[in-house]
Structure 1
Amino acid sequence: MSKKKKIVVKIGSSLLANSEKLTLRYAFMYGLMSDLADLQREGHDIILTSSGSVALGLNMVDKRPEDAGILDKQAAAACGQPLLMNAYRQVASEFDLEVAQMLVTVEDMEDRRRFLNIKNTMLRLFENDILPIINENDSVATRDLRVGDNDRLSAKVAQMIEADALIILTSVEGLYDRDPSEPGAKFITEIEDVSEHLESTTGISALGSGGMLTKMHAANMAQNAGVETIIAEGITERPVSSVLKNERRFTRCLVTGETASPLKVWLSNRLQVSGTLVVPDAVAADLEKKGRGIGRGDILSIQGDFIKGDVLHVYNETGEEIARGLTNFSSEETLLMARNLDMPVEDVIGYKTKTDVIGAENILILKDNHLPLDAPEQDQKIVVPT
């Protein structure tokens, strides 16, 4: 551990909050912040992705986790986030550790400019030896517009700063081949292909929004970004450094294959679908072979309301996701161009521009190591050239 590392640590609600009383588990928090302070003094850059705001605020809105609706959780997050950060600041100060709060939404992570702004803020905090504590802004997030869980958020952050390691601390030692309470359950120490383990990862904790399944999705996102993921139990004493020094058991998700460019890694690790295109199977086969983009004449159907610069998910005729890329046009412009193939592009949309809907330089062909996203269930706009 002599080399300076960038480390993202993710903490779930079940480690921070007592499941019955919905109060902070200060013993764990003291052990965590002491460990992170030591790692920072050794020269490592640390980011903490922390859940807990909703769990800590539920008492204030007189709700239990199992009874809380989306509005209750939003209100609880608004109440609990100050409690959480105040506790972090008080505990961190005992170890001469400065902390900063960053709250983000899915739109912040999916928009390229906002994504880079967040990255620059984190790097500046590193320069000043300040520990960023990042969380989803649950007080404004909804079911349809949210990161979805802090596991995937932590993977996006790891991708963002090109981390050396993503450490997800949870209530179990790591991944088993089935429910660990079942007889004969085997512990898995290393994973190369995340997709092989998805069936054994159902179930979530009472306080958390995810479970082992979301951790596998996060590990896959991190793998594609060249970041090793470690899933380990959130013990009280030295929860992070004991893993980095291989002093206890955990599950390691290895980085396999060649890592793409930062732009294409960002394209691959999506949290929501802005829009989709369906292309003929012949075009789908050509995309990888010929390194081409997607023109207006290649489109069979369009789905979703998107704007220029959004990331579109590209499917073949059988519904298999084959690529993702930045669109040069809005959904309305794309539809008009695809329906008027006999007219020049500038005559259709009223200005001169590139003709490809997605340029070859801004498209990522999905490989076997990418977990595909299902297309959203919306009515498709069928494109019929006239």
Structure 2
Amino acid sequence: MVQGKTIVVKVGSSLLANAERLTPRWAFMHNLLEDLARLRESGAKVILCSSGSVALGMNMIGERPETAGLRDKQAAAACGMPLLLNGYKQVAHEYNFEIAQVLVTLRDLEDRNRFLNTKNTVDRLLVADIMPIINENDTITTQEIRVGDNDRLSAKIAQMLQADILVILTQVDGLFDRDPSEPGAQLVEELSDVSPYLAVTEGVSSLGSGGMLTKIQAAHMAQNAGCETLIAHGEYEQPVTSVLNGQRRHTRILANERPESAWANWLSDRLQMAGSIVVKAETAEAFKSGPRHIGREDVLSIQGPYVKGDVIHIYGESGSELARGLTNFSSDETMALARNPSLSAMQLLGYKTGGTLITDKNMIVLDDRHLPWDLPSGEGMTDVTRLD
């Protein structure tokens, strides 16, 4: 039964665009929206995360995905988005429902206020019985400030809306225990821990920006929020409902039975590293007892640039990631405070502040449910004791 459930469905470019002609695959679009209409009529709230605008705009600017540069992709997205949304709108009208477009950027998901504003918009559309179609705004994002794949974007949307199910449609039946092209590869039908499978999920399709790795990362983000993920092939008459009803093969990633709070999920599941700090051994040891304030005296080195309000990654001297927290200062301000412990924060920064870098209320200590990020390379990491 899907009545009352919130379901996020993600479809990739390879399902929506013909790989050779780079034209819309209308038959798939009809099958998909007919199926989503069926879900909506059953009482489910449905959100679609759709790729495809870049691929569908390539012909208009005379480029191919294999050779297109960043500016080409931005221009192609601007050309392809009206085509994609017009197609969705025309087909949705056949099945008597309305759609709306929501374009987001990395900052809309990583900045807390913008994250909540996006949530409010999507919630209002759902109240009006309009199906949101969400995509990254590829016309303005650069490589450094983009999500990069709609798999993880769909997981952030699932977290944002506290969705019950995330369905990721792709061109394979699900996650395999090795490369699906290898003899003897077996479909993994169900799992709760994605960690053992990360090493076998590195392929990327010719049209899309993600592969199975990003799908597993997305599933991990969703399960932390109490949302189960289903990964399945999209080339079926009922691409979503047949999976939900267990009528065909797929991989099911179980939701965590004790999900974290929305605040903790937002803090812990990052799409991009804004910056990081390395803390002293005694500070690292203290994290074993839970979150704690981080002051200037705890910091050994800083990797930036980052700004006040960013969530930064906190490492021990061994390189192991300990926690993530909302910083009260920019990387430049943090450096000034850490390098001058004898001077007050007021003297150094010119405004009144307590000087605590990260408070325990704005921090999540990592545990076994989190996938740690490697410590950034030495490039860009500045020792606070070095005087320039």
Q: Shorter-normalised TM-score: what interval?
A: over 0.9
Alignment RMSD: 1.5
Would you say how many aligned residue pairs link Structure 1 and Structure 2? 386
Partner of 1:312: 312
CA contact (8 A) 1:273 1:375 kept: no
Secondary structure (helix, strand or coil) at the match of 2:302 reads strand
Partner of 2:242: 242
Deviates more, 1:114-123 or 1:55-64: 55-64
CA distance in 2, matches of 1:45, 1:2: 9
Deviations 1:138-181 (A, max 9, x none): 11122111101000100010000000011000011111111212
Report the Cα offset of residue 303 of structure 1.
1.2
Runs (4+) of structure 1 moved beyond 4 Å? Answer: none
The yes-or-no answer on 1:301 pairing with 2:305 is no
Q: Alignment identity in percent?
A: 57
User: Any gaps of 5 or more consecutive residues in structure 2?
Assistant: none
CA contact (8 A) 2:151 2:215 kept: yes
Report the Cα offset of residue 256 of structure 1.
2.8
- Structure 1 residues 2 and 109: alpha-carbon distance in aligned structure 2, compared to 1, 3 A threshold: closer
The yes-or-no answer on 1:86 pairing with 2:86 is yes
Report the Cα offset of residue 257 of structure 1.
5.1
- Structure 1 residues 354 and 63: alpha-carbon distance in aligned structure 2, compared to 1, 3 A threshold: same
CA distance in 1, matches of 2:181, 2:362: 46
CA distance in 2, matches of 1:187, 1:363: 37
Report the Cα offset of residue 59 of structure 1.
0.8
- Structure 1 residues 258 and 354: alpha-carbon distance in aligned structure 2, compared to 1, 3 A threshold: farther
Report the Cα offset of residue 323 of structure 1.
0.7
Structure-2-length-normalised TM-score: 0.96
CA distance in 1, matches of 2:239, 2:354: 52
User: Structure 2 matches for 1:227-266, cutoff 5 A?
Assistant: 227-256=227-256, 258-266=258-266
- Structure 1 residues 207 and 385: alpha-carbon distance in aligned structure 2, compared to 1, 3 A threshold: closer
Deviations 1:358-382 (A, max 9, x none): 0000011111221122344432221
Partner of 1:177: 177
Secondary structure (helix, strand or coil) at the match of 1:188 reads coil
CA distance in 2, matches of 1:192, 1:3: 25
Q: Amino acid of the residue matched to residue 223 of structure 1?
A: Q
Partner of 2:6: 6
Partner of 2:331: 331
CA distance in 1, matches of 2:263, 2:318: 28
Partner of 1:162: 162
Q: Amino acid of the residue matched to residue 306 of structure 2?
A: F
CA distance in 2, matches of 1:89, 1:159: 26
User: Any gaps of 5 or more consecutive residues in structure 1?
Assistant: none
- Structure 1 residues 278 and 257: alpha-carbon distance in aligned structure 2, compared to 1, 3 A threshold: farther
Deviates more, 1:344-353 or 1:292-301: 344-353
The yes-or-no answer on 1:193 pairing with 2:186 is no
Deviations 1:33-88 (A, max 9, x none): 01111111222111100000011011111111111111111111111011000000
Q: Amino acid of the residue matched to residue 89 of structure 1?
A: K
Report the Cα offset of residue 247 of structure 1.
1.4
CA contact (8 A) 1:204 1:212 kept: yes
Structure-1-length-normalised TM-score: 0.97
User: Structure 2 matches for 1:305-384, cutoff 5 A?
Assistant: 305-377=305-377, 378-384=379-385
Report the Cα offset of residue 357 of structure 1.
0.4
Report the Cα offset of residue 30 of structure 1.
0.5
CA distance in 2, matches of 1:253, 1:300: 39
Report the Cα offset of residue 213 of structure 1.
0.8
CA distance in 1, matches of 2:257, 2:331: 34
Partner of 2:17: 17
Partner of 2:43: 43
CA distance in 1, matches of 2:239, 2:133: 17
Deviates more, 1:48-57 or 1:199-208: 199-208
Report the Cα offset of residue 206 of structure 1.
1.0
